[in-house]
Amino acid sequence: EAGVTQSPTHLIKTRGQQATLRCSPISGHTSVYWYQQALGLGLQFLLWYDEGEERNRGNFPPRFSGRQFPNYSSELNVNALELEDSALYLCASSSRTSGFTGELFFGEGSRLTVL
Partner 1 sequence: LAKTTQPISMDSYEGQEVNITCSHNNIATNDYITWYQQFPSQGPRFIIQGYKTKVTNEVASLFIPADRKSSTLSLPRVSLSDTAVYYCLVVNYGSARQLTFGSGTQLTVLP
CB of 16 to partner 1, least distance (A): 26
Residues that bind partner 1 (CB under 8 A): 4, 31, 33, 35, 42-43, 45, 48, 55-56, 58, 88, 90-92, 94, 99-109, 111
Q: Which is nearer to partner 1, 43 or 65 (CB)?
A: 43
Q: How far is the CB of 109 from partner 1 (least distance, A)?
A: 6
DSSP the chain: ----EEE-SEEEE-TT--EEEEEEPPTT--EEEEEEE-TTS-EEEEEEEETTEEEEE-S--TTEEEEE-TTS-EEEEE-S--GGG-EEEEEEEE-HHHHHHT--EE---EEEEE-
